[in-house]
Amino acid sequence: MRLIWLALAIWGTIHPMSYFLQWFNENGYDLMAMVNAWHANAASSGLVWDLTIAAATLTIWVLWEAISRRRWLDLLAIPATFCIGVSCGLPLYLFLRSGRES
């Protein structure tokens, strides 16, 4: 499973980033314009909130486990989640988590 988590983390980095970079190339590197585009309609706003809540939940889980188990490398999943997305952060965390002896 560990290699599957890693493959999903890589895919979760490359696939969304290709869309983000395409959008930035077409519309300029204005982060607030991108945020406004995310809220273009009720459907996209719902997806934004869905992913925001998932990212917050993942962050709390990562923080809880990293602090309680002193697994500081696992904290890499947090910037991956907020800089790339849950599609990268969650499988990256599962990859990092699966490498430890329980």
Span 8-28, mean pLDDT? 95
At 70-97, the pLDDT tens digits run 999 999 999 999 999 999 999 999 999 9
Q: Is 47 left (phi over 0), alpha (psi -120 to 50) or beta?
A: alpha
Measured distance CA(100)–CA(102) in Å, rounded: 6
At 29-73, the pLDDT tens digits run 999 999 999 999 999 999 999 999 999 999 999 999 999 999 999
Measured distance CA(72)–CA(98) in Å, rounded: 14
